[in-house]
Amino acid sequence: MNYIGLKVSGRSHTCGELRTQDIGSRVVLAGWVQNWRDHGGVVFVDLRDRYGLTQVVFNPEISPQSHQLAHSVRSEFVLQVEGEVAARPEGTVNENLDTGEIEVIVDQVKVLSQAKTPPFMVDDPGEVSENLRLQYRYLDLRRPAMQEAMIFRHRLTTLVRSFLDERGFLDLETPMLTKSTPEGARDYLVPSRTNPGRFFALPQSPQLFKQLLMVSGFDRYFQVVKCFRDEDLRADRQPEFTQIDMEMSFVEPEDIIALIEEMMRVIFKRLLDIELPPAFQRLTYEQAMADYGLDAPDLRFDLKLIDLGRVFEGTAFK
Percent of the chain clearing pLDDT 90 (strictly above): 79
Rounded Cα–Cα distance for residues 125 and 135 (Å) = 18
182: left (phi over 0), alpha (psi -120 to 50) or beta: beta
Phi-psi category of 91—alpha, beta or left, where left has phi over 0 and alpha has psi -120 to 50?
A: left
Decide: residue 130, CB within 10 A, 0-12 exposed, 13-18 middle, 19+ buried: exposed
3-state class (DSSP) for residue 289: helix
Looking at residue 318, its pLDDT comes to 66
Banded model confidence at residue 1, pLDDT cuts 50, 70, 90: very low
At residue 52, the pLDDT reads 95
Asked whether residue 230 carries a pLDDT value surpassing 70, the answer given is yes
The pLDDT value recorded for residue 9 is 64
Q: Give the burial string for 47-68 (b: 16+ CB within 10 Å, else e).
A: bbbbebbbbbbbbeeebeebbe
| CATH architecture label of 168-250 | 2-Layer Sandwich (3.30)
* Three-class DSSP category at 200: strand
Buried b (16+ CB within 10 A) or exposed e, 12-30: bbbbbbbeeebeebebbbb
Q: Which position has the higher pLDDT, 8 or 212?
A: 212
- CATH architecture, range 20-113: Beta Barrel (2.40)
Q: Decide if pLDDT at 3 tops 60.
A: no
- What local confidence, expressed as pLDDT, does residue 246 receive? 97
Pairing of strands 102-113, 52-58: parallel
Amino acid 4: pLDDT:
33
Name the average pLDDT for the chain.
91
pLDDT tens digits, 182-212 = 777 889 999 999 999 999 999 999 999 999 9
- Work out the average pLDDT over 222-247: 90
Residues 109-167 have pLDDT tens digits of 999 999 999 999 998 777 889 999 999 999 999 999 999 999 999 999 999 999 999 99
Beta-carbon count within 10 A of 198 CB: 10
d(C-alpha 93, C-alpha 116), whole Å: 31
| Beta strands per DSSP E along 40-155 | 42-49, 52-58, 78-87, 102-113
The β-bridge partners of 85 are 104
Per-residue pLDDT averaged across 222-249, rounded?
91
pLDDT of residue 7: 43
Give the pLDDT confidence of 172-188 residue by residue, as tens digits. 999 999 998 877 788 99
What's the average model confidence in pLDDT over 81-94?
95
Q: CATH 3.30.930.10 region(s) of the chain?
A: 168-250
Residue 6 has pLDDT above 50, yes or no: no
CATH 2.40.50.140 intervals, the chain:
20-113
Q: Per-residue pLDDT for 316 more than 90?
A: no
